[in-house]
Amino acid sequence: MAEFEPKIAAFVCTWCTYAGADLAGTSRLQYASNVRVIKLPCTGRIDFHFIIKAFERGADAVLVSGCHPGDCHYTAGNYHARRRWTVFRKLLEFAGIEPDRVTFAWVSAAEGAKWASLVNEVTEKARKLGPFTRYQRLNEIAEGEAER
Amino acid sequence: MTLPNQTPRSTCTLGYYPGCALHGTSKEYDISVRAVAAELGQELREIEDWNCCGASAGHSTNRKLAACLSLRNLALARQQNLKTVLTPCPLCSKQLLSAAAEVAANPQVRSEAEQTIEMSFGGGVRAINYIQYCTDSLDAISSRIGEGLRGLKAACYYGCLLTRPPKVVQFDDAEHPTSMENVVRALKGEPVEFSCKTDCCGGGFTQSHPEAVLRLSRKILENAKAAGAEVIAVACPMCQVNLDMRQAAIEKRYGISLGLPIVYLSQLAGLALGIDRKKLGLGLHFVSMPERGA
Amino acid sequence: MSRIGVFICHCGENIAATVDCPRVAREAASMPGVVHSVDYEYLCSDPGQSLIKDAIREHRLSGVVVASCSPRMHETTFRRAAAEAGLNPFRCEMANIREQCSWVHADREQATRKAVDLIRMMVHKVARNESLCPIKVPVNKTALVVGGGIAGIQAALDIANAGHRVILVEREPSIGGHMAQLSETFPTLDCSQCILTPRMVEAASHPNITLHVYSEIESLTGFIGNFEVKIRNKAKSVDLGLCTGCGACTLACPLAGRIGNEFDRGLGKRGAVYIPFPQAVPHKPVIDRAKCLRFQAAQKKGIPVQDCSVCGKCADACPIAPRKAIDFSQEDVIITEKVGAVVIATGYELYTGGRPRPGDRYAGCGEYGYDDYPDVINGMQFERLASASGPTQGRILRPSDGLEPQTVVFVKCVGSRDNAKGFTYCSKVCCMYTAKHAMLYRHKVHAGRAIVFYMDVRSPGKGFDEFVRRAIEDDDACYIRGRVSKITREGGKLLVQGADTLSGEQVEVMADMVVLATAMTARHDADELARKFRAAYDKDCWLTEAHPKLRPVESATAGVFLAGACQGPKDIPDSVAQASAAAGKVLVLFSSDELQREPLVARVNRTAPPQYSTCTGCFACKAACPAGAIEVEDITDKAGNTVKSVARVNEGVCQGCGTCVAACRSGSIELCGFTDEQVFAQIDAL
Amino acid sequence: MLTLHDTTAAEFRAAVEASLGQKAALCYQCGKCTAGCPMAWDMDLSPNQVVHAVQLGMREKALRCKSIWVCASCETCSTRCPKDFDLARTMDVLRQMSLEAKMACPEAHDIIDFHRSFLNSIRRHGRTHEPEFIAEYKLRSLHFFQDAWNAVWMALRGKINPLPRSISGKAAIRRIFDRCRER
């Protein structure tokens, strides 16, 4: 059977990481095509339901990335995100998600190369961890109810 | 010192400075130049008592000497009232031209040189190369031409000094000259386009650095051959000797066959004008030019 | 039921080469709510845009997804197109299948599949987009210019001459910046101060310009058109109102001529109370409290300086009566100003050429002996030597013994392009000023020998290369292609060990003086400053422009513009040009009384009574909001008594980061354009 | 090791520039001369390096090199120089200096011998006389049999005059030689 191709959901901020990802593009840096970017104004906007939801919808890993500390376009959004992340991290295992499936990183608008390698790392990590199926059951139930 | 100024004899005849080569190893050039001139009714008067221009040996080792040797020839021409001097050897003519330019540019150099050669030189002598000569008398030539060269494919090879240094010789385009082609066309020959027109053949190294001659001339010969030339037309004794006398050695060394006759423009002009081959010294080349049946 | 149109751009070969656009179009056609799906060569072209407009009208589209380049490239283009076709611009979204797909993935199958996914996610989002109308905010037509060098002065004058108020802030006691230190300028060799000082005076005396020297920016808050800036006026210990600038105090100071003068790069001396240089504007002294005997004594004793009896000669010497202009008790003052636009023109710092100082971002150079040999100086020091107003009145005399150097070696690229030392960039101006230095030296010392070690000669610019050739051909500057390895002292001379890469030989020069063409660097506190202004900066801490080609004078933050060398190494003409360009941008902003902002702001929901709003009034959002946009709103009943206090977003202030949304416990705040519904829809479509 | 502080370097450069009438500093070392030189393959210093040696006053290097002798004086360099620097002429100047300083490259003795023989022949007769100067050259260079057959072939076709024909002004020519050679 073909090698397992993980699906990665990336929540990134417009100002730093999204721009960094664009830079990777303009510099034609090749990287794993497994990532699906969801653009938000700021990492501060990230509600961690997003992450849970992503796993439920078949993501095998989630990447959260924004401006470096101190560089937030909104001065403090990324600090809030980081604070929430530290709390949320502990909840992950409780929610049945290996913490390794979620990666939190800083990528600035100038770090196209960093973005490319980051995506590759996360993809590799997810490959090793294998598909995330725990929530598929929930989906099936949900769909079952929908039918009824 | 002051010198007796002879009263110039008025005449329209053309001055002629053959130089050493044309009196010796390249005498066929001399012969053919004279033959063509005679055919055209043009009187060539050789500068009386001319001396060697010093050639590369001169300017290479003593520029002042080189300048003075040429200046003497100019001064003689002036005395003998020869305003335009046909100088078939490009090296000779370049030397005449640069000497004239140098003294014209710098009065101090001039007075020094005049002291040295014990003659005064007022300027006003113009040296022309053989292509210029043909170009000037193109009408006369064309009017006398029947079948001419009958489409003989000729690669026109200028070498270095016909067009270089441009500031001194001021003749045609230094990188891509076309005047010889025009003459050949007028002679009803067919100039072939080739890319080594102004490459160096090894020049004065014929004797002293044959290796260089083999190497440089090979490229020219092969290139002309590839361009489909039947002959290479030249207007320089050094080029002729290198390409002709060394051709056998080149074929031997590089295991190639060329068999390209190297003929003077004057010889081609002669042929086109229907002058007898013997009178053009065509038999005097290492690679002789075959008779072309109609 | 929404009617969505999907438009896939080939971008010539840029996308089509790796993404199978027709197939993507086919697959998109079957996505929920999609009624129209096409692919096209160049959607950003005129025909491309009209293709979209026509489709919107023809298929009565309620939403549009343009799959092409990054939204950062063309979002405005396509939203405008949508609007022209009568569709609310915020119902148009882009799927980035170029920068983040076709350009970064080689495999056609994978790239195509990813493109489909990205489009599906956007389709799901757009189905939930609502019509939004732009927010209008007033523009405060006062500009803040930070930095009083040539760039700052130029920008301030341009804006002020257009009739707007300008607040010009300079950290040093005088404006003028680096240009005031230069002797003559390339390639014209006209006197730097002669052309600068009139501008300095004009700026200081301009009715529309408020000048704050010896001052620094504390903080900047707010947003384009409506910033609020706090400026710290550092205590000068001199009452500028009273002081006439007579200079009596500077002569009276017991330390006069004993402290290295920053303006002369240590080659000249000053006192504790000093006027930085003769042409200073304003021409008023300040007291250097770190050096002043009285202040130091007071500090030691731990008493207020005005109670201290030490020295005070400056005050005694001050002829102003009855109240002296010297005011030891003066303290820093923080003033607040409201401005609509900001021009950052904070310039650069020159790397000394020596070992690193604490806090330097780069490793310095020990091999040139800058810290060890007084006769090894840097370019700016040479400028001071060559300057008529400098410590040697313009005579080239070496610092150690004041003798005229007969052989001077100029070393280019000291720091610059020295990756190991932490500089990867070219400082741009050194090639030119080194040629100028060699020239000036040869003009002043006719028998002297000028030897220049270089790696390249970079002289693009009007008359620049001609200038360099003049130094080499007419003034006999001997240019050696190669770096210098080390400089050591041999007797009274400096032994320069270099290389001549053209001949492949080692080179030795016995020099009397060495001039290092050292790198231009970002200010040591550039990153801190950038944060204050929310401007981005690169790895070398140069402030970054919004777009390297198309938006060279705008920062990442709307309303904050860049001028001069704070953005990267620049010469005078470039700095002035950029300053005027920045001023032009400010004037465009000031040309209208109010400006439109994207309505992507937060919104607290309102529901029918009795609930009024799901907001519980915990105000976690207020704590989270970095812009201070959350206000408290008391909801009253008919009788006018407060039913409950809920949060309200001041959409004029809200920057739309959405931090409040994530912070809200009751899920009562939405961020327009990025509502939970929209984001979850995207995730759903993963 | 190249030392730039001694004055001899500057003197040499000045001397070359004086008889050249151009500043060596004109050359910006683009290498176009080398790029087009037909003899570069046989040179120890590339043409641009020769100029560079002059620029830095490296006398030994400039006067002892082989390059100045294998230069064919084809004038290609001077013709194409973007800075109008006359390198062909510079070669002439360096050759003369090299001879006067007795520093001529031993590898190039054939070429130098040829020049000598050639000039001597002129000095004697006012014109060159092949059999004579070729003979002298062969004696100097010891290339006795080179082109022997060619010579015979040419002699048979009267291309080689058996006897020298001196010009009447040969005394004047001799004086010219002497005057130009005195220093």
- Of the pLDDT bands very low, low, confident and very high (cuts 50, 70, 90), residue A1 is very low
Range of the domain at D153: 107-181
Under an 8 A CB cutoff, do B207 and D92 touch?
no
For C309, other C-beta atoms within 10 Å of its C-beta total: 10
**C 561-600 residues inside an 8 A Cβ radius of A:** 600
Chain D: closest CA distance from residue C420 (Å):
27
For B91, other C-beta atoms within 10 Å of its C-beta total: 26
The mean per-residue pLDDT over the stretch D109-133 comes to: 92
Chain D: closest CA distance from residue B147 (Å):
30
Q: What percent of chain B has pLDDT over 90?
A: 90
Choosing among 3.20.19, 3.40.1350, 3.30.70, 3.40.50, the CATH entry for C602-684 is 3.30.70
Residues D15, D50, single domain; the answer is yes
The pLDDT value recorded for residue B291 is: 84
The pLDDT value recorded for residue B293 is: 53
Pair of tokens at residue D168: 């009447």
Residues D85, D21, single domain; the answer is yes
- Of the pLDDT bands very low, low, confident and very high (cuts 50, 70, 90), residue B8 is very low
**How confident is the model over A27-82, as pLDDT tens digits?**
999 999 999 999 999 999 998 889 999 998 889 999 999 998 877 888 788 888 88
The pLDDT value recorded for residue B39 is: 94
Residues D85, D117, single domain; the answer is no
The mean per-residue pLDDT over the stretch C235-263 comes to: 94
Best of A42, A82, A119 to disrupt the C interface by mutation (most C CBs within 10 Å)?
A42
Taking 50 as the threshold, does the pLDDT of residue C192 lie above it? yes
The pLDDT value recorded for residue D161 is: 84
Under an 8 A CB cutoff, do A47 and C662 touch?
yes
Just give the CATH number of C351-521: 3.50.50.60
- Of the pLDDT bands very low, low, confident and very high (cuts 50, 70, 90), residue D37 is very high
- DSSP class of residue A83 equals H
The pLDDT value recorded for residue D183 is: 61
Pair of tokens at residue B7: 């009263």
Residues D85, D71, single domain; the answer is yes
Distance (Å, rounded) from C-alpha D73 to C-alpha B61?
Answer: 12
Taking 90 as the threshold, does the pLDDT of residue C462 lie above it? yes
The mean per-residue pLDDT over the stretch D59-67 comes to: 96
Q: What percent of chain B has pLDDT over 70?
A: 95
- Of the pLDDT bands very low, low, confident and very high (cuts 50, 70, 90), residue D53 is very high
Kindly list the residues from chain C whose CB atom is less than 8 angstroms away from the CB atom of residue A77: 626, 657-659
Taking 90 as the threshold, does the pLDDT of residue B128 lie above it? yes
**How confident is the model over B257-269, as pLDDT tens digits?**
999 999 999 999 9
* CA separation, residue C592 to residues C209, C340, C661, D157 (Å): 21, 12, 32, 99
Under an 8 A CB cutoff, do C659 and A80 touch?
yes
Chain A: closest CA distance from residue C350 (Å):
25
The pLDDT value recorded for residue B1 is: 40
Taking 90 as the threshold, does the pLDDT of residue B84 lie above it? yes
Per DSSP, the residues of D92-127 read HHHHHHHHHTT---GGGHHHHHHHHHHHHHHHHHSS
Chains that touch C (3 or more CB pairs under 8 A): A, D
Best of A13, A15, A28, A33 to disrupt the C interface by mutation (most C CBs within 10 Å)?
A33
Q: Point out the least confidently predicted range of B153-157, C237-241, C509-513.
A: C237-241
Mean pLDDT rounded to a whole number for chain C? 94
Distance (Å, rounded) from C-alpha C519 to C-alpha C378?
Answer: 10
Residues D14, D100, single domain; the answer is yes
Under an 8 A CB cutoff, do C556 and A15 touch?
yes
Chain D residue closest in CA terms to B211: D42
CATH 3.40.50 in chain C, residues? 4-126
Kindly list the residues from chain C whose CB atom is less than 8 angstroms away from the CB atom of residue A28: 103-104
Cα A127 vs. chain centroid, distance in angstroms? 15
3-state SS, residue C478: strand
Chain A: closest CA distance from residue C70 (Å):
7
Under an 8 A CB cutoff, do B116 and D176 touch?
yes
The pLDDT value recorded for residue A147 is: 66
The pLDDT value recorded for residue B2 is: 42
| Residue D45: partners with Cβ closer than 8 Å, 6 or more residues away | D53, D61, D65, D66, D67
Q: What percent of chain D has pLDDT over 70?
A: 99
Let me know: does C589 contact C341? Beta carbons within 8 Å: yes
Residues D86, D133, single domain; the answer is no
CATH 3.50.50.60 in chain C, residues? 142-232+336-347+523-593, 351-521
Contact of C455 with chain D, judged by CB distance below 8 Å, is answered with no
The pLDDT value recorded for residue B202 is: 94
Taking 80 as the threshold, does the pLDDT of residue C266 lie above it? yes
Contact of D70 with chain B, judged by CB distance below 8 Å, is answered with yes
Kindly list the residues from chain D whose CB atom is less than 8 angstroms away from the CB atom of residue B286: 150, 153
**How confident is the model over C598-629, as pLDDT tens digits?**
899 999 998 888 788 999 999 999 998 888 88
Contact of C476 with chain D, judged by CB distance below 8 Å, is answered with yes
3-state SS, residue A68: coil
The pLDDT value recorded for residue C609 is: 81
Residues D116, D87, single domain; the answer is no
3-state SS, residue A29: coil
The pLDDT value recorded for residue A88 is: 86
The mean per-residue pLDDT over the stretch D70-89 comes to: 96
The mean per-residue pLDDT over the stretch D128-136 comes to: 87
Kindly list the residues from chain B whose CB atom is less than 8 angstroms away from the CB atom of residue D93: 63
CATH 3.30.70 in chain C, residues? 602-684
Taking 60 as the threshold, does the pLDDT of residue B4 lie above it? no
The pLDDT value recorded for residue B54 is: 95
The pLDDT value recorded for residue B12 is: 57
Taking 50 as the threshold, does the pLDDT of residue C413 lie above it? yes
Taking 50 as the threshold, does the pLDDT of residue B228 lie above it? yes
Residues D167, D111, single domain; the answer is yes
**D 115-154 residues inside an 8 A Cβ radius of B:** 115-116, 118-119, 122, 126-130, 134, 137, 141, 146-147, 150, 153-154
Just give the CATH number of C142-232+336-347+523-593: 3.50.50.60
ipTM of the complex in this document: 0.80
Distance (Å, rounded) from C-alpha D127 to C-alpha C121?
Answer: 96
Residue whose entry in the numeric block shows the structure tokens 């702001």 = C601
- Of the pLDDT bands very low, low, confident and very high (cuts 50, 70, 90), residue C120 is very high
The pLDDT value recorded for residue A2 is: 64
Taking 90 as the threshold, does the pLDDT of residue B179 lie above it? yes
The mean per-residue pLDDT over the stretch C108-119 comes to: 96
Best of C478, C487, C493, C500 to disrupt the D interface by mutation (most D CBs within 10 Å)?
C478
Chain D residue closest in CA terms to B90: D74
The pLDDT value recorded for residue B59 is: 95
Residue whose entry in the numeric block shows the structure tokens 């992340």 = A85
The mean per-residue pLDDT over the stretch B48-53 comes to: 96
Cα dihedral sign, D95-D97-D100-D102: negative
Under an 8 A CB cutoff, do C503 and D23 touch?
no
* Residue D118 placed within a domain: yes
The answer to whether chain A touches chain D by having 3 or more C-beta pairs less than 8 angstroms apart is no
Residues D52, D76, single domain; the answer is yes
Q: At what angle do helices C108-126 and C676-684 cross, to 10 degrees?
A: 150
Kindly list the residues from chain B whose CB atom is less than 8 angstroms away from the CB atom of residue D79: 164-166, 174-175
Q: What percent of chain C has pLDDT over 90?
A: 87
> β-pairing, A61-66 with A8-13?
parallel
Number of domains in chain D: 2
Contact of D46 with chain B, judged by CB distance below 8 Å, is answered with no
Domain boundary among D56, D73, D104: D104
Residues D35, D91, single domain; the answer is yes
Q: Which of B24, B69, B202 sits opposite D176 (nearest CB)?
A: B69
Domain C4-126, what fold? Rossmann fold (3.40.50)
Q: Which of B55, B118, B164 sits opposite D76 (nearest CB)?
A: B164
Q: What percent of chain C has pLDDT over 70?
A: 100
Domains in chain A and their CATH numbers?
8-147 (3.40.50)
Q: What is the pTM of this model?
A: 0.83
Domain boundary among D41, D71, D104: D104
Residues D93, D130, single domain; the answer is no
Let me know: does C624 contact C654? Beta carbons within 8 Å: no
Q: Which long-range contacts (CB under 8 A, 24 or more apart) does D145-152 make?
A: D146/B207, D146/B210, D147/B207, D147/B245, D150/B245, D150/B286
Contact of C303 with chain D, judged by CB distance below 8 Å, is answered with no
Distance (Å, rounded) from C-alpha D38 to C-alpha D51?
Answer: 17
Q: What percent of chain A has pLDDT over 70?
A: 97
The mean per-residue pLDDT over the stretch B54-80 comes to: 95
Residues D12, D80, single domain; the answer is yes
CA angle C160, C163, C166 (to 5 degrees): 35
The pLDDT value recorded for residue A95 is: 85
Best of C407, C410, C503 to disrupt the D interface by mutation (most D CBs within 10 Å)?
C503
Amino acid at C514: V
The answer to whether chain A touches chain C by having 3 or more C-beta pairs less than 8 angstroms apart is yes
Kindly list the residues from chain C whose CB atom is less than 8 angstroms away from the CB atom of residue D3: 507-510
Domain boundary among D85, D104, D123: D104
* Burial annotation C56-83 (CB, 10 A radius, 16+ → b, else e): beeeebbbbbbbbbbbbbbbebbbebbb
Count CB pairs under 8 A between chains A and C.
Answer: 138
Domains in chain B and their CATH numbers?
14-130 (1.20.1050.140), 148-275 (3.40.50.11810)
The pLDDT value recorded for residue B6 is: 42
Under an 8 A CB cutoff, do D175 and B68 touch?
no
The mean per-residue pLDDT over the stretch B78-97 comes to: 96
The mean per-residue pLDDT over the stretch D100-126 comes to: 94
Taking 90 as the threshold, does the pLDDT of residue C337 lie above it? yes
Question: Which residue in C477, C472, C458, C463 sits closest to C189, CA to CA?
Answer: C463
